[in-house]
Structure 1
Amino acid sequence: MSTVAEHYPIDCPFCNIANAYLPDPASPIPSSPDPAKVDPQCHLILSTPYVLGFLDILPIAPGHILLTTRRHYRTLIDLHKATSTTAQDWASRRAAEESLETSRALGEWLPRVSQALCKVTGIEDWNVVQNNGERAAQVVPHIHFHLIPRYQEGRRENAGKGKVDVGMLKSWRMFGRGAREELDDEEGAEIAAELREALQEVIQGTESVGPKL
């Protein structure tokens, strides 16, 4: 049987978040999660048995969201390998089932979180970016998707007041304008609350389409 340490490697920041914010059987949308459970703070919007969503601490634009897997997979290939295992022991079969459910959950939640993001920010254009490996600009070695809102010129881009991570600028130039700045926790808490409310409205309108993941 797998251990908590195997599910949540202690040196992985996203695993620390997964370990701190366990899923609530009552709802995938946390009502009032404490952002100070981890350091730096986590502004959580989604917590399911298979995926989590929270604000990026170095956003390109306000509302920049990360959607990640609860269990630790480094790349999409690692997720596929776990899904396609042919081992016959119980633990391996369970891991394969979990990876398959994780893949389905990513597919279910990406459009839902996108809809909530558009609803809250008012944007019509956004990037969904997923990097695999250091040369592809993957900084945290744990599968995650970036949902980056693209505002009209002059509307809510980062204002240049925060601390810019200069080392990240080159990697992100391919995704359009915008420098990465540290997230202001007060602003993060406000946006996250709005996103949770919008996401709740989204799933209430689509919960009959498929299972709660």
Structure 2
Amino acid sequence: MSGHAYDPHCPFCRIVRGEIPSSKVLETDDAVAFLDINPVNPGHVLLVPKTHHLNLTELPEAIAAHLGSLVPRLCRAVQAASGADGFHLIVNNGRAAGQTVDHGHWHIIPRFQNDSVHWPWPHTQYAGEELSQIRHRIERALNSPNAAN
């Protein structure tokens, strides 16, 4: 685990400590939500744990559960305040998925009819036994001794 209370090089850790100014919208003992300074759409909020963890897969389950418990309320507030028609709740986990800040976090992005954000992503179908094979690999990973960490 790479969880630490604080990483002085992490902008989100510095926001949590008040070293970098932010527009906080919600704060608990273990989490903080603030407006993204480079929003996809106005009202784009980031929800972060107060302790430093590189990404979602490294969050302890209790912290992840706490952040998850804040999501419905935050999403309702973002949608109501922005007048959005909907929203995306996104976690970019790892560079391949677009994660640019190495501190696990959720994005709540308001969406509007006819905004400039392109969706849906392209989809494909499984070929042959591929569906069954990936299902079995996921089940095996879930039941491995490391899955509980």
Write out the 4+ residue segments of structure 1 that deviate beyond 6 Å after TM superposition: none
Which residue, out of 106, 117, 121, partners 2:82? 121
Please say if residues 87 and 111 of structure 2, whose CA atoms lie closer than 8 Å, have aligned partners that are also in contact: yes
Residue in 2 aligned with 1:62?
Answer: 42
Residue in 2 aligned with 1:147?
Answer: 108
Q: Does residue 13 in structure 1 map to residue 5 in structure 2?
A: no
Please say if residues 126 and 150 of structure 1, whose CA atoms lie closer than 8 Å, have aligned partners that are also in contact: yes
SS at match of 1:72: coil
CA 1:62 to 1:75, structure 2 compared with 1: closer, same or farther past 3 Å? same
CA 1:175 to 1:57, structure 2 compared with 1: closer, same or farther past 3 Å? farther
CA 1:150 to 1:70, structure 2 compared with 1: closer, same or farther past 3 Å? same
Q: Does residue 107 in structure 1 map to residue 68 in structure 2?
A: yes
Q: TM-score, normalised by structure 1?
A: 0.51
How far the C-alpha of 1:100 sits from its partner, in A, is 3.6
In structure 2, distance between residues paired with 1:175 and 1:48: 34
Report which of the two has the higher share of helix: 1
Please report the RMSD computed on the Cα atoms of aligned residues, expressed in angstroms.
Answer: 2.1
In structure 2, distance between residues paired with 1:173 and 1:151: 11
The letter of the residue matching 1:145 is W
Q: Percent same amino acid at aligned positions? A: 34
SS at match of 2:109: strand
In structure 2, distance between residues paired with 1:132 and 1:112: 23
CA 1:68 to 1:175, structure 2 compared with 1: closer, same or farther past 3 Å? farther
Report which of the two has the higher share of strand: 2
In structure 1, distance between residues paired with 2:98 and 2:118: 11
In structure 2, distance between residues paired with 1:116 and 1:153: 21
> Which consecutive residues of structure 1, in runs of 5 or more, have no partner in the other structure?
1-5, 21-36, 80-98, 158-171, 177-213
SS at match of 2:58: helix
How far the C-alpha of 1:50 sits from its partner, in A, is 1.1
The letter of the residue matching 1:138 is Q
